Amino acid sequence: DIRMTQSPASLSASLGETVNIECLASEDIYSDLAWYQQKPGKSPQLLIYNANSLQNGVPSRFSGSGSGTQYSLKINSLQSEDVATYFCQQYNNYPPTFGAGTKLELK
Amino acid sequence: EVKLVESGGGLVQPGRSLKLSCAASGFSFNDYWMGWVRQAPGKGLEWIGEINQDSSTINYTPSLKDKFTISRDNAQNTLYLQMSKLGSEDTAIYYCARQLPYYFDYWGQGVMVTVSS
């Protein structure tokens, strides 16, 4: 299985700040990567697919980038509603695998 | 509006079986791959498996292949997950999700399964 390593595991940031979350794959996943946001007590919501494509309805302050084994999710101008845990997921190889998550809190 | 509603969860004894359902609405169910993902309490997400539109292709994560069975009824717009030989390690929230086809654009609210004596 492809291992997805997310960093940091937790993050504290201020309103209006820019936040970066990293995801490292154990092998090349050719941009077959999605990012999800999970708010406490809720199901995950798709933010980004194909490493950098923004899902319909997701605010433009979210963006994804990367290639090969290294990917990142960027949140510009952090809002209070962005407090959540963020997961990456590779779908290049079976089985699809997720990162352990990055918990984002407000400072 | 796309809606996925899981049901059938609850408390089950170790070694027993349980069948989860996922009722879909707001989209053409028989046009999409569907999948199941679970999340143990306080943990990350684990892909269980998927089923294509006409049930001709069903894939599982290898460690669950002999315990779990995914099926669907397109006439009823319903996805199923039959779980057998349940153990404490299967305690989790179980989500059904619409696949596109390898990532998930809509998720249900989840259903809790607790395996305990």
> Which tens digit of pLDDT belongs to each residue from A5-14?
999 999 999 9
Q: Give the Cα separation of B95 and B81 in Å (integer).
A: 10
CB within 8 Å of A56: residues ≥ 6 apart: none
Contact A55 B110 (CB under 8 A): no
**Which pLDDT value is given to residue A86?**
98
**What are A7's strand-pairing partners?**
A22
Contact residues for A26 (Cβ-Cβ < 8 A; gap 6+): A2, A3, A4, A5, A69
Cβ–Cβ contact B44 with A under 8 A? yes
CA distance linking residue A74 with residue A87, whole number of Å = 13
Asked if B45 lies within 8 A of A89 by C-beta distance, the reply is yes
Residues composing chain B = 117
pLDDT at residue A41 is higher than 80:
yes
Please check whether residue B66 touches A, CB under 8 A: no
CB B103 within 8 A of CB A89: yes
Look up residue A56 and give its amino acid. Answer: N
Going residue by residue through chain B (117 aa), what tens digit of pLDDT does each one get? Answer: 999 999 999 999 999 999 999 999 999 999 999 999 999 998 999 999 999 999 999 999 999 999 999 999 999 999 999 999 999 999 999 999 999 878 999 999 999 999 999
Q: Which residues of A touch B110 (CB under 8 A)?
A: 43
Q: Using a CB–CB cutoff of 8 Å, tell me whether B109 touches chain A.
A: yes
Per-residue pLDDT of A64-85, as tens digits, reads 999 999 999 999 999 999 999 9
